[in-house]
Amino acid sequence: MGQPIFIANFGKIMRSVSLSHRSYIANNISTSHWKHHHEEQVTRIIRQLVQSKKRYKIYGYGKRSCQECQSEWKSKSPYTKESLEDYLKETSNELLNELCEKCNKMKPISSFLLYKKSPLEDHIDIKPTIEIKLSKEWNNYYRVFGTWKCQRCSNRWKSAHTYISLQKFIEKSRLDKDDFYMQKCKNCEEENNDNCVISSYKPLNKSDRVRDTPHEAGLCAKCLSGAYCVHDTFVPGKLANDFFFL
């Protein structure tokens, strides 16, 4: 199986095997598969940042986390539009990985923090204007918490599995129908129900992910595509954090 196809269908593969075999499969996946997948995600996000029509200065930091010592930190050096453009010309390992000072291991970037202006100008730890987490990006779409409305029956619902255009998320601009993965209204019996719209959305928080009911894979765009979904029973935490340097 080709590398890109394997990664795209990882969730489907893991759901089809027993729990006892999942650890074996995960431990025998080539780390180069995960490295390639990670680099593709980083490249997609950087392209969207560089190509953004929003007229603000690109300035930010890479964020990393270490599961072994439970530490999180921002990159020592900020990135700018120029440095991101340089990355696209020649992939820089410096942007991808950084040393964890506590456990002395290299860790990959986990999110991009974007500011309207340099936090150093105010000498305080201000919140970023946008945080783009790699774990939420999927093929140039981004997972958010969305409020939906059916235009046929006026039914409303909220979903933590809403995927919108990454570009529109960065620009915080209005969504058109081609800018999100459609969700179907449960109340309407129409087989081809495409009359639902997102009335509002926001970045996904931990509190938004708390669920009292099972995840409905049949209504999840990511599950239906065969991609690995966050609600799969097996979560390759160590691989996701250390796939470069096992």
Reading the block at residue 159, the tokens are 């979903």
pLDDT in tens, 110-168: 888 887 766 555 545 677 888 899 889 999 999 999 999 998 888 999 988 899 999 99
Quick one: pLDDT at residue 209? 60
Whole-prediction pTM: 0.74
Count structural domains, the chain. Answer: 2
Q: Indicate the pLDDT class of residue 90, thresholds 50, 70 and 90.
A: confident
Do 122 and 168 share a structural domain?
Answer: no
Q: Indicate the pLDDT class of residue 100, thresholds 50, 70 and 90.
A: confident
Mean pLDDT computed over every residue of the chain: 72
Query: 88-102: b or e for each residue (b if 16 or more CB lie within 10 Å)?
Result: eeeeeeebbbbebee
Q: How many CB atoms neighbour CB 218 within 10 A?
A: 8
Residue 43 gets which letter from DSSP? H
Query: 140-161: b or e for each residue (b if 16 or more CB lie within 10 Å)?
Result: ebbbbbbebbbeeeeeeeebbb
Per the listing, tokens 């009335």 go with 199
What's the mean pLDDT in 213-237?
Answer: 63
Pairing of strands 130-133, 111-115: antiparallel
Do 143 and 124 share a structural domain?
Answer: no
Do 149 and 99 share a structural domain?
Answer: no
Do 128 and 21 share a structural domain?
Answer: yes
What residue numbers bound the domain in which 162 lies? 138-225
